[in-house]
Amino acid sequence: MNLPRLEDLPLEQGSRVLVRVDFNVPLRDGHVEDDLRITTARPTLEWLLERGARVIACGHLGRPKGVPVPEVSMAPVAARLGEVLGFDVPLAPAIVGPEVEELAANLETGRVLMLENLRFDPGETKNDPAFATNLSALADYYVNDAFGASHRAHASIVGPPLVLPSAGGRLLEREVEALGGLVAAPKRPFVAIIGGAKVSDKLGVIRALLDRCDAVLVGGAMAFTFLTATGGHVGASLVEPEMVDECRDLLATGRVRIPVDVVIAQAIDESAPTRIVGAGAIPDGWMGLDIGPETAALFIDEIETARTVLWNGPMGVFEVAPFAVGTRSVAEAVAACRGFTVVGGGDSAAAVREMGLASEIDHVSTGGGAALELIENGDLPGLRALRESQRA
């Protein structure tokens, strides 16, 4: 996918660059709890600063629904970004307006200004042209480094490329290269591992993967809708009845693998008694909460021989220790695989980081929804906007 790069921007000393970042990080007690999304933006920001740019960083946090909410102010994010970069990063009092324009105009060369939460303005999620124009007026150039938000046609994603010379940042470039390779020319065998709660959330990507994959391994709660489609008894496990026929069609391809045994309990609790039973033989009142050891072994065999692996979604309720074994087994197998391995964001990315395996994965995506949509559709609104800017 041919996207404009940082090197394509004709930067001069003192150029102002609006950088859309994905700093939607978890907060605890007013501090950033996990700064991965901040540290992964560092290469783009430092590249710009080293060339004498003045950077206006903008991003969103949470879902304030168009009104200022102090609990999701970007203040903790600006503070942590300053620690990462080694100098203070001031927070603008708003997103646009005369006061922000003055701060952007007077920003020193080689420094960063952080705008307040984009979603404090309803124009962001509504893709309001006036809001996008006012945001773009703060800078001479635009860089999109927010891969995790690029599946949204929001004002800060698709608006600035209409009026400013634009490029993709280093993080976005790396994401597109890794995930785009899964779409264009994956090495075979190509194995995808898909978990999570609902088939309906991932139906499109499963269909897309079946056009490219040799096997799709299904775990997590979504597996019980597939098991229902086979006539299995799943007890009190989560099932989407309206998806049963879809699952039956997917199973008919012969490339979807579902659990053969599961870990069950009557409550999602560390102290709850557990049993391992056949996947289609769960007693009434019990629910499946993890893949069982036989399933894990079958999945590991598929992963070991793969030359390309994509993993998105845990195999069970991995946050609770008795139901984390399947996810850990898959994570370790992906990490040990000699093929090209991609973990597609979300809970599975959190799992490999918590298990200390992230460094052994070829690419850990920062965007769960964006990663899946790129694989499903082959493109994203934010990427299209950059290409159109390049042609303008």
Contact 301, 217 (CB under 8 A): no
**Mean local confidence (pLDDT), 108-135:** 98
User: Which tokens sit at 295?
Assistant: 């399933």
The model's pTM is: 0.90
First and final C-alpha spacing in the chain: 17
pLDDT of 184: 85
* Dihedral sign (CA 209, 211, 216, 218): positive
pLDDT tops 80 at residue 330: yes
pLDDT tops 90 at residue 347: no
Q: Which domains does the chain have, with CATH numbers?
A: 6-169+380-391 (3.40.50.1260), 188-338 (3.40.50.1260)
Give catalytic residue positions: 37, 198, 346, 369
User: Which tokens sit at 11?
Assistant: 């930067």
Name 388's Cβ contacts closer than 8 Å, sequence gap at least 6.
161, 162
Per-residue pLDDT band for 392 (boundaries 50, 70, 90) equals low
pLDDT of 112: 98
pLDDT in tens, 254-291: 999 999 999 999 999 999 999 999 999 999 999 999 99
| Interatomic CA distance for residues 45 and 112, integer angstroms | 9
User: Which tokens sit at 250?
Assistant: 């997917």
pLDDT tops 90 at residue 390: no
Percentage of the chain exceeding pLDDT 70: 99
| Interatomic CA distance for residues 263 and 276, integer angstroms | 5
Q: Between helices 325-336 and 293-304, what is the axis angle to 10°?
A: 10
pLDDT in tens, 205-247: 999 999 899 999 999 999 999 999 999 999 999 999 999 999 9
User: Which tokens sit at 153?
Assistant: 């046609």
The H-assigned helical ranges of 153-292 are 155-158, 170-184, 199-210, 223-229, 244-251
What's the alpha-carbon Rg for the chain, to the nearest Å? 23
User: Which tokens sit at 337?
Assistant: 């695989």
Per-residue pLDDT band for 361 (boundaries 50, 70, 90) equals very high
Distances in Å between the Cα of 108 and the Cα atoms of 16, 55, 268 are 10, 9, 53
Contact 318, 347 (CB under 8 A): yes
Pairing of strands 54-58, 112-114: parallel
**Mean local confidence (pLDDT), 172-193:** 93
pLDDT in tens, 8-24: 999 999 999 999 999 99
